[in-house]
Each structure stands twice: as C-alpha cells, then as structure tokens.
Structure 1
C-alpha cells in the first residue's frame, strides 16, 4: 500500500527545493500550490468570478489582485478557501487513486499549510523543511515585491516553525545548501523503503470508495 508522506514548511524554508529533490529521486508529488494555479486558469475561475468579480480577467484569476483582496480580510479569505479547498482535495484524491492503481510504494503531498489545515490526518508521516530564522528572513525579503510588513503578515498566518518541527516525523534543514538537503532526503527515502502505508486503507474504509486496478478514477462501491 502506498506510503503517503506530507511535505510542508513555512515561507522561505526551502520546501520547493526539497520537493525538487524528491522528484529527482523519482517520487511522485502532488503539489497543492501548483494545483491551485491550474484551478485559477480553469475550473475555479468562474466560481471565484462570482464571489470576487474584479480579480478575474479573460477567464483567468489575477493572483496578485486576489492576494491583495483577501490578505487582510479573514471573511474573504474563508470564502476563497471554501471555493478552492474542495477542488484541491478532489485533485489530491485522484492523484492517490492513480498511485494506488500503479502500486507506487511512496507518494508525497506537498502542502504549504499542512498542519494549519489538518492535512497531517491524510498522511502516514510528515516531513517539515526548516532553517534558521535569519536565513528564512533573508530568503523571503529577496523576493520581488516583498516587504517586511508582507513577510510578517505571512508568518502570522502560519504555525510557528518550532511547533511544526515538534510535530514532524522527519526534518530537512536547508540551511547548509542543496547538497546537504539532498543527502537528508535520500536518508529519509532509505528509512521509508518498503514501509507500508495506512492512509489509503483508512480512506477506502471511511469514504466507501474502491480504487480500481488500472483506473485514474475513484468509483463508488
């Protein structure tokens, strides 16, 4: 049974770089952020247009405009999440169904706000990407358009790194460069080799779904 590893980390910790190492090692990854970006160009766009007409242009969500609209308004943010989160979960379920059919031994769910949204319940184990606060701040402030105020606002919406590290089963520290991070990932892969997963079994029991042998669909029993 596929072992599902959750991958998370606060802004500027190096999660994307760590995800690229897993891909390099041939591990299938479901990227929640990338899925959202696809939805903003497709299925979610008309739904967001109904709620926030000013942020959709030519059928595509203007992410910068949407971010400005919801960043400081919790009610609007919740309304956006109510639209997007179910669509992302549906894409995630399809991803897992495909891997179940293909009998993949390991899959990674790359979810930035994994702990904040209770996503650890959908994982057999969680890996947190981390580094020092000084390196984190330096990385984030180098991003185009980033300010200290925006950085602090992002941090306020995320669980503190210390708490994420406390809850994690595995950690990757990216503070010593890519080669060090890759060595840590490969060590984790060795640790997880042939380890059976339990999440998909729980999903089948809870949702009453069956995963067909060579199908990318989840069908009702």
Structure 2
C-alpha cells in the first residue's frame, strides 16, 4: 500500500487538494478529523484536556470548544506543547489502526492529510510527502477571510507551524495553490496521471 502524506500550512488548501485526490480515487485519511474523534466526550484525551485547561474550553454540550482552546494554545507555545502531548499519541493510535485496516482490505493508495505531519514527527507513517504550497501573503489573506481573524491572529497561527518554504524543501511533490482552485485541480490531475497512473515515483 502506498501512503502519501499530504501537508502544507494553515489555509494553504490541503482539504481542497484532498477532495480532488479522493475524486480521482484515493482513499483519504484526514488527521484533523481523527483529532476531533479522539477528543469526543468519553475519550481519554477529552478528560485530559479538561484536567489540563479547565472547563472554559468546553461547549455547553460538553464537547471541546476548538476556538476557545485555539485561543489558548496559539498564544502560548508551552500550552500548545501540552495539548500536543495529549492529542498526538491518541491520533497516532487511531491513524495506525485505520491504516492497518486499509492494508488488510487491500487498499492500494492512501492519502494521509495532516497539517502537522512534519512538525509532529510522523513522516515515518507515510512513504512520501506532498506539500500544498502558498506564499505567506496569500496564506495570511486566505486565513483572515476563512476564519474571520485579524492579521495579528492570522500571523500568530501561521507562526505556530513550520514555514511553508521549509516544508516545500522536504516534499517529493509540490502542489502550487497560489492561483485559482481550478488551476490547483488541473495540477493535481496532471500529477495523478503521471505519478499515480504512470507509476513514476522517482
């Protein structure tokens, strides 16, 4: 089974790229979805987050308020590390379980989409890295528009991740998303034809 690690920066267009790859036939595992799954009420990570950060990070129904938690951890690197120490092992267990099941089913190609694939040190989970790239100016603008953030808050969130230029250097495939969505989709289809269907991994 070939596992492609799809990553990039916040608001770089990873989810859109993954959707195109899914339409082309890839099985996509979304690490963000795994992160939501492992912090549901009743899960060990949910209890640890409350014990660490308090009831102020909860919604009325007991679920984690991601915005409230984000405000804490993006402003405080030490708090972010505490959160990652809780969530990353839980996500890793769920990812390995899902990948093992897909292998058992005979799946040929999996895209593991993870914004912190490199930062979390889990590149061993994948066979190769694909990066969805945008420049800093485009990234800031899109993040502000998408999440309704101030420029200061957008820059704070971007600064919590590895710079895009560094991620691009580690990629076997770079998907340029500085332009329109249709242009990125065209690039991905070309890569798919050449790299997946053509079997060229060099």
| Cα distance in 2 for residues equivalent to 1:132 and 1:17 | 17
- Paired residues in the alignment total 196
Residues 96-136 of structure 1: CA deviation (Å, up to 9, x unaligned): 11110111111011110111122222211110001233322
Residues 27-56 of structure 1: CA deviation (Å, up to 9, x unaligned): 111111111122232313222122222223
Give the 3-state SS of the residue equivalent to 1:108 in structure 2: strand
From the CA coordinates, give the structure whose radius of gyration is larger. 1
| Cα distance in 2 for residues equivalent to 1:128 and 1:170 | 6
| Greater fraction of residues in helix | 2
Residues 56-101 of structure 1: CA deviation (Å, up to 9, x unaligned): 3443111122112222222222221111111111111111111101
TM-score by length of 2: 0.88
Residues 4-24 of structure 1: CA deviation (Å, up to 9, x unaligned): 100001122111111111121
Say whether the 8 Å CA contact 1:46–1:59 is kept in structure 2: no
| Cα distance in 2 for residues equivalent to 1:127 and 1:102 | 24
| Cα distance in 2 for residues equivalent to 1:109 and 1:78 | 22
Give the 3-state SS of the residue equivalent to 1:16 in structure 2: helix
Deviation at 1:194, TM superposition (A): 7.7
Residues 119-169 of structure 1: CA deviation (Å, up to 9, x unaligned): 222211110001233322221121343011111111211111111111100
- Go from structure 1 to structure 2 and tell me whether the alpha carbon gap of 1:140 and 1:123 turns closer, same or farther (over 3 Å shift): same
**How do residues 20-169 of structure 1 correspond to structure 2 at under 5 angstroms?**
20-42=19-41, 43=43, 44-54=45-55, 55-57=57-59, 58-169=61-172
| Cα distance in 1 for residues equivalent to 2:186 and 2:200 | 23
Say whether the 8 Å CA contact 2:74–2:160 is kept in structure 1: no
Aligned to 1:18: 17
| Cα distance in 1 for residues equivalent to 2:159 and 2:31 | 20
Aligned to 1:218: none
| Cα distance in 2 for residues equivalent to 1:85 and 1:94 | 14
| Cα distance in 1 for residues equivalent to 2:62 and 2:36 | 13
RMSD: 2.0
| Cα distance in 2 for residues equivalent to 1:114 and 1:121 | 9
| Cα distance in 1 for residues equivalent to 2:79 and 2:168 | 30
Say whether the 8 Å CA contact 1:128–1:168 is kept in structure 2: yes
Give the unaligned 5+ runs of structure 1: 198-221
| Cα distance in 2 for residues equivalent to 1:196 and 1:4 | 15
Give the 3-state SS of the residue equivalent to 2:75 in structure 1: coil
Give the unaligned 5+ runs of structure 2: none
